[in-house]
């Protein structure tokens, strides 16, 4: 226990906030005022700890990591911070004295949804783990005014609504107006010769945007180290152009302010997909430039020189979105501190590390060079020089392989290839699961591997498991503590002690009761939000993740349509009752993804309207999948659907959250599923589908004929017929076409039809296994027991050792 507060102290602190911040005494305060005062008291405790470790002048002088990410998905903070600081009991009692229930306050908090899905959630899990491990590591991102949209389902279609989370969510943000930074866009470059005959580039006629930092403090469990997530909000130095205003040009007089503020207005809702828009480039450069300038200034205050920058600062690039950190650091070193190119480049390379998150071409950033040059002329000139030197090196190393040189170029065919720039500069590059790291070495970055094989490594993703187990599933967590003690909260590998109870029928019975209670809790939510009554004794079969064709929600729906067809053909067929639960947002402009959501919702209705099937087959589509909703769903899942086409899912982390809550994985040999299989063994997982090499071979040979399945496989033929006849009256022509369309060589890109049979058989195995209660209980406890390696604490220790070279502050 690191924090010893009495109930009275906390009560007085809350009263103080109510009085001095809101001008209210407890008895007349509104719920919002009590909520905000409680948050402010927690924030104060965090600030006190922060200053203990990170004071600019006095603090430790160890290396610190700055984790750059366009996305963070923290979810809610009050419960997490109170849990991490181990102060829940005193807060509970103090609030009780005001007649407040802490749980109701927890429920008031909106999610901070500053990310799309797995990538952003990973960044937040990592900040938690860095603080937990007692290390100094901070995040940098954008303070989006609107986070990931709120999803509504209306008439079986996704509707997007703005997410104005700052309304209540800003209580966690500490604005630091004095630490604002200037960022320059557009303008032109001019060559100027100084008195020593040295040429300098001067950037003129640019537009200035101001970045204001809003700091969110980050706690770790049982740790005194509190770190920072710094979110930049954009604004303009000129609120109104008075000259234009005086001439009556009212709208024009505010144009500059509008231009600046739009940058941090809203998160792009694309997951694993890039949009080549200039606003996106501006967002990237805005937060990178502000962050790098702040870092350099901070370093100079602490050390008085930049020569040791890389010894004290590590800059981590989370996917290619923050790649501009590389040329921006070069710009600062060259233009502002007059370093020579070679020295600057050496320091920058030793500072930068990079994690690749995808190999799918639609997700690899390639910026049009002319657009980049227009918006960021100085950065462009630096990238041109980096590329020139890179090209010279490639000519030397690969004189006879032009194709390889082109593939490895940083600028090629009028495009800036950001992944290549990252690999050229970073001194370490990692993938996010063993399989993914192998694929990037053999495919995407093969040329670079020939040059610097030691640069490449793997760190398998991990999750902040205390959020996903202890906080989201208190019943299970308490039971584990009762059996094995509380050590697992500090070291997830101790979950393995549960294996002792694999043959203990009382323990298995207790686990199944806890699962059932969590299923009832979710069933209540489903009744309230979907008006569907689900049977808690049915199998809760869960697929929750972003909607993407590669994740193959469609394969799941194909299996459900197949079961439907079988029940219609033979109403007495013995099918164990299932509740298929989906949660998924589709990018607003992703037509096929939206069609698949629509299909799931219409299918849900069709099943519910049919008395023959509705007691055995149900679909629930939960709207607005988010961190908070995930916390409700994970503990209630029996089956974890991880059914991406092999080679497409870099790791997955939803699979880990479900595993630690005792769900059994039904998955392909993709991403971290492979490592889950290694951890639990063949008998505790359901694996199906083509392997990466098999998929590769089929693609290479050009022999894939999806439409052949429609003729030769009667189950598939019947599903296509059902969809052609209409689901709940709707014909999903675009979906059918995407799978089978004539001689379209792109049909069924993600091999839904090729993997269908194998999936169907695995699903039959699931049904059978579930009916053997003991066997299922043993599978489930094994999954919980073996989930420890998927702790983000383990991932972060690997990053610290293999990639960043950092240690706990107080070591």
Ligand X SMILES: *Cc1c(COP(=O)(O)O)cnc(C)c1O
- DSSP secondary structure string, 502-555? TT-HHHHHHHHHHHHHHHHHHHHHHHHHH-----TTSEEEEEES---GGGTHHH
Of 51-59, 362-370, 372-380, 650-658, which part binds ligand X (CB under 6 A)? 650-658
Beta carbons within 10 angstroms of residue 773's beta carbon: 12
Q: Is there a contact between 237 and 210 (Cβ–Cβ < 8 Å)?
A: yes
Hunting for tokens 């609120």 — which residue is that?
239
Helix, strand, coil: what percent of the chain each, to 5?
55, 15, 30
Closest distance of CB 630 from ligand X, Å: 4
627 touching ligand X, by CB under 6 A? yes
Q: Which two tokens stand for residue 253?
A: 């007089």
Give min distance, CB of 645 to ligand X, in A: 14
Q: Which of 74, 110, 118, 447 binds ligand X (CB under 6 A)?
A: 118
Q: Pick between residue 269 and residue 654 the one whose CB is nearest to ligand X.
A: 654
CB 758 within 8 A of CB 688: yes
* Catalytic site residue from 657, 760, 786, 794: 657
CA pair distance 229, 127, nearest whole angstrom: 8
Using CB under 6 A as the binding rule, whether residue 288 contacts ligand X is answered as: no
Choose the catalytic residue: 219, 355, 579, 653: 653
269 binds ligand X (CB under 6 A): no
User: In whole angstroms, how close is the CB of 681 to ligand X at the nearest point?
Assistant: 22
Nearer to ligand X, 37 or 460 (CB): 460
In the bound state with ligand X, the residue whose beta carbon lies nearer, of 339 and 550, is 550
User: Any catalytic annotation for residue 657?
Assistant: yes
- CA separation (Å) from 400 to 393, 406, 409, 423, 448? 13, 12, 15, 22, 16
Question: What is the nearest approach in angstroms of ligand X to the Cβ of residue 219?
Answer: 19
Q: Does 545 bind ligand X (CB under 6 A)?
A: yes
Going by C-beta distance under 8 Å and a sequence separation of 6 or more, which residues neighbour residue 90?
Answer: 5, 6, 7, 9, 10
- The whole-angstrom separation of Cα 641 and Cα 668 is 9
> What strands lie across the sheet with 415-417, from one edge to the other?
366-368, 415-417, 411-412
**Annotation says 614 is catalytic:** no
Candidate list 17, 357, 441, 559, residue with the active-site label? 357
Alpha helices in 635-771 (DSSP H): 654-660, 673-680, 692-701, 706-712, 714-725, 733-740, 752-771
Decide whether 431 or 654 has the Cβ nearer to ligand X: 654
Question: Nearest to residue 181, comparing CAs of 262, 237, 257?
Answer: 237
Contacting residue, 13, 121, 390, 618, with ligand X by CB under 6 A: 121
Q: Which of 561, 630, 646, 800 binds ligand X (CB under 6 A)?
A: 630
Q: Which of 74, 110, 117, 462 binds ligand X (CB under 6 A)?
A: 117
Strand partners, 232: 142, 213
User: Residue 159, SS3?
Assistant: strand
Q: How far is the CB of 120 from ligand X (least distance, A)?
A: 8
| Least CB distance to ligand X at residue 356 (A) | 16
Closest CB to ligand X among 641 and 748?
641
CA dist 574 → 564, 617, 760, 762 (Å): 12, 12, 16, 17
Number of CB atoms found within 10 A of residue 12's CB: 13
**171 is written with which tokens?**
């209580």
Select 113 or 327, whichever has its Cβ closest to ligand X. Answer: 113
Identified catalytic residue from 230, 551, 559, 794 = 551
Q: Is 653 a binder of ligand X (CB under 6 A)?
A: yes
Q: Using alpha carbons only, what angle is made at residue 537 by residues 152 and 582, rounded to the nearest 5 degrees?
A: 25
Known catalytic residue at 452? no
Min dist CB 548 to ligand X, Å, is 8
Q: Which stretch binds ligand X (CB under 6 A): 113-121, 166-174, 354-362, 710-718?
A: 113-121
CB 355 within 8 A of CB 317: yes
Query: Which of 75/327 has CB closer to ligand X?
Result: 75
Query: Distance between CA atoms of 681 and 783, rounded to whole angstroms?
Result: 10
Site track for ligand X across 546-565, x = CB under 6 A: x-------------------
Q: Candidates 354-362, 400-408, 428-436, 622-630 — which segment interacts with ligand X by CB under 6 A?
A: 622-630
Q: DSSP character for 158?
A: E
Among 652, 662, 689, 706, binds ligand X (CB under 6 A): 652
- Closer to ligand X by CB, 411 or 658: give it: 658
568 is catalytic: no
Does 380 participate in binding ligand X (rule CB under 6 A)? no
Cβ distance to ligand X smaller for residue 38 or 356: 356
Select from 127-135, 242-250, 353-361, 625-633 the region that touches ligand X (CB under 6 A): 625-633
In the bound complex, what is the minimum distance in angstroms from residue 115's beta carbon to ligand X? 8
Rounded CA-CA distance 470/481 in Å is 10
Q: Give me the least distance between CB of 655 and ligand X, in Å please.
A: 6
CB closer to ligand X out of 390 and 467? 467
The least distance separating ligand X from the CB of residue 415, rounded to whole angstroms, comes to 28
CB atoms within 10 A of CB 710: 18
Give the chain's largest Cα–Cα span.
94
Active-site residue, selected from the candidate residues 405, 436, 545, 559: 545
Contact positions vs ligand X (CB under 6 A): 117-118, 121, 545-546, 625-627, 630, 652-654, 657
Catalytic residues: 357, 545-546, 551, 653, 657
């Amino acid at each position: 226990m690191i924090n010893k507060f009495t109930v009275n102290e906390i009560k007085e602190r809350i009263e103080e906030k109510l009085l001095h911040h809101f001008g209210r005494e407890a008895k007349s305060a509104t719920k919002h005022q009590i909520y905000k005062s409680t948050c402010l008291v927690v924030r104060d405790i965090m600030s006190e700890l922060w200053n203990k470790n990170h004071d600019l002048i006095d603090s430790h002088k160890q290396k610190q990591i700055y984790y750059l990410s366009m996305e963070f998905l923290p979810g809610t903070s009050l419960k997490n911070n109170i849990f991490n600081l181990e102060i829940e009991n005193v807060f509970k009692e103090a609030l009780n004295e005001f007649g407040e229930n802490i749980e109701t306050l927890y429920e008031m908090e909106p999610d901070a949804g500053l990310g799309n899905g797995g990538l952003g959630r990973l960044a937040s899990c990592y900040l938690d783990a860095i603080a937990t491990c007692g290390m100094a590591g901070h995040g940098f991102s954008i303070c989006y005014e609107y986070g990931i949209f709120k999803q509504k389902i209306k008439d079986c279609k996704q509707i997007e609504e703005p997410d104005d989370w700052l309304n209540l969510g800003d209580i966690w943000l500490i604005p630091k107006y004095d630490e604002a930074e200037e960022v320059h866009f557009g303008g032109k470059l001019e060559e100027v010769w100084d008195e020593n005959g040295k040429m300098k580039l001067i950037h003129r006629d640019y537009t200035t945007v101001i970045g204001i930092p809003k700091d969110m403090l980050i706690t770790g469990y049982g740790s005194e180290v509190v770190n920072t997530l710094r979110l930049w909000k954009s604004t303009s130095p000129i609120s109104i152009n008075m000259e234009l205003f005086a001439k009556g040009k009212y709208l024009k007089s505010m144009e500059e302010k509008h231009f600046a503020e739009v940058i941090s207005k809203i998160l792009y809702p694309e997951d694993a997909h890039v949009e080549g828009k200039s606003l996106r480039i501006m967002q990237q450069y805005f937060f990178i430039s502000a962050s790098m300038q702040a870092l350099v200034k901070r370093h100079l205050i602490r050390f008085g020189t930049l020569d040791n920058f890389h010894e004290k600062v590590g800059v981590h690039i989370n996917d290619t979105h923050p790649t501009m950190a590389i040329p921006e650091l070069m710009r600062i070193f060259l233009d502002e501190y007059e370093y020579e190119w070679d020295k600057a480049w050496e320091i920058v390379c030793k500072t930068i590390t990079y994690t690749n998150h995808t190999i799918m071409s639609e997700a690899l950033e390639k910026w049009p060079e002319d657009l980049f040059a227009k918006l960021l002329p100085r950065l462009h000139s630096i990238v041109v020089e980096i590329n020139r030197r890179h090209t010279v090196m490639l000519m030397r190393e690969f004189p006879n392989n032009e194709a390889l040189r082109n593939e490895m170029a940083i600028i090629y065919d009028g495009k800036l290839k950001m992944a290549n720039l990252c690999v050229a500069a970073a001194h370490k590059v990692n993938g996010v699961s063993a399989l993914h790291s192998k694929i990037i070495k053999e495919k995407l970055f093969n040329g670079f591997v020939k040059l610097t094989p030691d640069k490449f490594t793997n760190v398998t993703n991990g999750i902040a498991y205390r959020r996903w187990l202890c906080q989201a599933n208190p019943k299970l967590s308490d039971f584990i503590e009762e059996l094995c003690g509380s050590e697992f909260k500090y070291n997830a590998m101790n979950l393995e002690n549960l294996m002792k109870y694999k043959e203990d029928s009382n323990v298995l019975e207790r686990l199944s009761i806890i699962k059932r209670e969590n299923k009832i809790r979710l069933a209540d939510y489903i009744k309230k939000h979907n008006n569907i009554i689900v049977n808690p004794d049915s199998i809760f079969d869960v697929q929750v993740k972003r909607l993407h064709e590669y994740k193959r929600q469609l394969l799941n729906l194909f299996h459900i349509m197949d079961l439907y067809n079988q029940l219609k053909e033979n109403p007495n067929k013995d099918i164990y009752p299932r509740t298929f639960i989906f949660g998924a947002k589709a990018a607003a402009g992703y037509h096929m993804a939206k069609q698949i959501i629509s299909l799931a919702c219409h299918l849900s209705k069709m099943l519910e309207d049919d008395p023959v099937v509705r007691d055995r087959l149900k679909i629930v589509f939960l709207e607005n999948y988010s961190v908070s909703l995930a916390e409700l769903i994970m503990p209630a899942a029996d089956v974890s659907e991880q059914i991406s086409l092999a080679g497409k899912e870099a790791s997955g982390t939803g699979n880990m959250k479900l595993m630690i809550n005792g769900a059994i994985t039904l998955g392909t040999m993709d991403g971290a599923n492979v490592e889950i299989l290694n951890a639990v063994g063949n008998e505790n997982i359901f694996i199906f589908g083509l392997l990466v090499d098999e998929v590769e071979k089929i693609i290479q040979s050009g022999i894939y004929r999806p439409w052949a399945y429609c003729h030769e496989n009667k189950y598939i033929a019947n599903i296509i017929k059902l969809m052609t006849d209409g689901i709940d009256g709707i014909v999903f022509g675009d979906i059918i076409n995407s799978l089978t369309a004539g001689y379209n060589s792109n049909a069924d890109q993600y091999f839904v039809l090729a993997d269908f049979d194998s999936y169907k058989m695995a699903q039959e195995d699931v049904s059978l296994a579930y009916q053997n209660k003991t066997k299922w209980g043993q599978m489930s406890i094994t999954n919980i027991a073996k989930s420890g390696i998927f702790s983000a604490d383990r991932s972060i220790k690997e990053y610290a050792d293999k990639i960043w070279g950092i240690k706990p502050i107080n070591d």
